[in-house]
Structure 1
């Protein structure tokens, strides 16, 4: 058992409240710029406003790429700055955070596009804890749950909350798998994992597969964590569609993601706390090495080049602190390596389970 896991097993953790209340305003993401501006200026829309909710709100509208140069709570100043309503962009920096919104409502396909964790984190840091939409894209919804935001597609639940009712947490767990339900129960993935390491969660056991196993199923079966508290790993088979936790052989991330992960680690675990198996972690700077040549004059005037430079600095600092391999920039410019290519070429071995961030 690593020193980190031993420490986390002693950390206090408790479930979130089993009752949910609306503790702030509701932001209706409608396709009407004037109505959006009214809400941002302090006028609430009634639930029967009769306006059309925006469909297909992408993560790029919630947090445009340049916003992802920020990697901490500063993201809370920016949610929806790329949001288009009637062809206009009514949301400006800090307008959501200063508006006192606790819930955001939209139409179909909420959170489509790039699977950037920065989007729900920006919403969370701006004060939004409840996401309502006609339907919600899978990865965005998973990111919401992992960060502690609650999602719901039943607008009658919103009506009850607006009416001042305290709604059971179970309303936000309907249709979710057993693992996701417990992540919601504990208030997010980190808190859930604390409870998991301490043997406080009731994870379903592996589903026994029938028939022949593919090599992929065998790899997942070998890596399946059976008991986090005791460190038991491995089972005989893996059923397609089953959910569980797995021990990885290699973990990697690029500079858009590493700094946020490092910030979460320092915030949730503690700065300077030991890292489990740092030799299995590999960092890459392969997304923004040509930003200085590519950035627009407008973005440069906003100071975003200096902001983006902080991603590099944070990644380097964390790598140096823990002795993590970092493939950075070459002396002639550009990247030493592209993450997914380098992993396959020089690190991955047959039978390994590898997880990494890419885009």
Structure 2
């Protein structure tokens, strides 16, 4: 486990983008240089999981566009920073991190929502069943393990502590720690941390084992909401609009396929995808998958899921009021599956079986 001395006042400082790093995003476009539109999208995956682009590719929705896996990440802020600087072609993160990145003048736009919270897909903050932690105040002086700092989990923790009536000084005494997701449950059970943030497959697997209970969940805090978006650089969208349209629409179609398809079939397909890619991953946890949690049809962005964090970050002083314009943050232009009407009906039609 890696600890940090960062305070909540430095929330999202993990991004740490300098002017040099951001400016690199306008030139370091690698495989996307030249007049032709790229048909290869570089990306980072998540160990043991099937991302929506990976699902879309397997369903045949990406047409002639190919994904090129360059490695895995456990950090949304790192993923979108890599997209902003041109190391990969798209990245996804918690919307607060997207807002903060844009506030640092990164030339990016959110193009589609890809995860969220609902009754089946949520992140919970778990403690040992026989432990003493029952309230926000009980967290003072305690360690909370999460996948990365300056992102979704830290934001939810901060909101919970604020609503629990803690002063800023007391909130600063709650210590968030970076723990790889696959090790978080074990770290809690071994009492290396006091609270474990668990979501999706890893959450349900831990609950099935027993001995833990939820302190709170993001769904309890905010209800159903889309929590994160995929971003692409302005330059990529300008140079390869057709590829961007295929990609975004394919992800939207994959969201709707996962909603309308029997859960057992979705899990079976995901299991096949993980086995075929040959990364020596355990497929057993996939049986706990329930939902991607995206609130809107085909991942369409309404703006409210970003405005929430623009206002929140401004209230905290992490960004200045008016520093980020909502209209500059996102676009639905490339999402044919999320536009409604006949075009959307065609876009979310039955999948190809060629990728099976």
* TM-score relative to the length of structure 1: 0.23
* TM-score relative to the length of structure 2: 0.23
Which is higher, the Rg of structure 1 or of structure 2? 1
Higher strand proportion: 2
Higher helix proportion: 2
